[in-house]
Amino acid sequence: MRVAWIGLGHMGLPMAANVVRAGHELRVFDVRPDAAAQLVELGASVATSAADAARDAEVVGVVVLDGPQVEAVMLGPDGVFAGAGPGTVVTVHSTVHPATVDAVAAHAPAGVTVLDAPISGGVKGARAGTLCVMVGGPPDAFEHARPVLDAVGDLVVHLGARGAGLAAKLARNLIGYVSMLGAQEGRALADAAGTNPAAFAAILEHTGALSPMMRDLLSVPGGDDVYTANLGSLVELAAKDLRVTLALGDDLGVDLPATALTLDHVAFSFGAPPDANP
C-alpha cells in the first residue's frame, strides 16, 4: 500500500520502519529533516510537508505528541487534509482526548476517513512490531487500514465508533500509571525495611505483582534506554495522558481519585526526582 507517516519520534520512527519492512511504499514527514535518515536507508522517501506526504497515500499514520500537534499536522495549508484525497484513511496514533479526533475529523475532505488508533507497548513494542493498536471508527475504513496496522502491532482491535480506541487506551493507561505508583511505593517501603532488593524483585516476579512493562520501568528508567538521559520528557508525557484521562472522566461523570493522586506524584511513579513533577 501507499502509506504516509507523520511524526518520527521515539514511537513513530520504529513504527514507520516496520511499515517499510512489511513491504509498503512509505513517504514520511517530520519537522526535523534528519529524523528520516534511517527510513531512507530502508527505502522510504521524504516529503516536504504533511500535505506532500499524504498526497496519493492510501493510509496516513499520525504519531505526534498531543492534541495541538494533531491539529497542526492535520489542518492548514500544509496539513494532511490539504494533500489527502478520496479513499484515504488517516489513523491517529497519538494519545489525545476523543473530542480532539472528532473535531479534526469534522474538517476532513470528502472521502477521507479518520480513525483513532492509539497504541500501547512502549518503544520496545514499537521496535518489535508488537504494539497493541486500539481502533475506533467505521469498520470498512478499519479493514482498509488493517494491513498497515498489522505491520506495527500484533494485537489490533476494532472497538467501535470513532473515540472507542482512545477510551480504551486512556483506561489502559490509567491502570498502568496507577500500578507504577503502587510499585514505587512498595519498593520504597521494602527498601526502608531493609529487604534485599534482588530478593524482593524475585518475590514480585514469582507472585505476578507486576506486568512485563512494569518490570521494565522498575529496572530501566523510563523502561527503555532512549529515556535514560531525559526522563523528564516521559514524565511530562505521562502527565499529559493523565490530564486527558481525568478530562474524559469528567465528561463521562466518572470519578477517578487514583488517577488524580497518580498525577500529583507522577514523577515519583517513574523514579524521577520530585522536582521533575510537571
Same domain, 137 and 172: no
Checking if the pLDDT of 231 tops 90, the result is no
Query: Is pLDDT of 53 > 90?
Result: yes
Specify whether 156 is located in the same domain as 18. Answer: yes
pTM of the shown model: 0.94
| H/E stretch holding 39 | helix 37-42
Residue 127: closest CA among 6, 210, 13: 13
Q: How far apart, in whole angstroms, are the C-alpha atoms of residue 15 and residue 78?
A: 23
- Do residues 151 and 68 share a domain? yes
C-alpha 209/C-alpha 199 separation (Å) is: 14
Q: Taking Cα atoms as reference points, which of 211, 221, 205, 207 lies closest to residue 173?
A: 211
Contact at 8 Å (CB) between 114 and 107?
no
Do 211 and 244 lie in a common domain?
Answer: yes
Which H or E element spans position 244?
helix 231-252
Tell me the C-alpha distance between 89 and 77, whole Å.
19
CB atoms within 10 A of CB 212: 10
Same domain, 7 and 140: yes
Of 138, 161, 184, which residue sits at a domain end?
Answer: 161
Residues with Cβ within 8 Å of 44's Cβ and at least 6 positions away in sequence, in order, are 5, 16, 20, 26, 27, 28, 36
The x, y and z cell numbers of residue 277, run together, are 513533577
Calculate the alpha carbon distances from 223 to 14, 215, 217 in Å. 16, 8, 4
One domain for residues 150 and 186: no
155 and 181 fall within a common domain: no
Residues in the chain: 278
**HSE-up of 135 (CA within 13 Å, CB side)?**
27
Active site residues: 169
Residue 271: the pLDDT is 83
Is 214 found in the same domain as 96?
no
Confidence of residue 221 (pLDDT cuts 50, 70, 90): low
- pLDDT tens by residue, 177-215: 999 999 999 999 999 999 999 999 899 989 988 888 777
Question: What CA–CA distance (Å, rounded) separates 163 from 97?
Answer: 8
The model's pLDDT over 55-98, given as tens digits with 9 standing for 90+, comes to: 999 999 999 999 999 999 999 899 999 999 999 999 999 999 99
Number of domains in the chain: 2
Domain boundary among 112, 143, 161: 161
Enclosing domain of residue 213:
167-271
* Residue 83, pLDDT score: 98
32 with 152, same domain?
Answer: yes
Query: Residues 269, 238: contact at Cβ < 8 Å?
Result: yes
Q: Looking at the domain assignment, is residue 276 inside a domain?
A: no
Question: Between residues 269 and 19, which one has the greater pLDDT?
Answer: 19
Residue 93: per-residue pLDDT: 98
DSSP state, residue 86: T
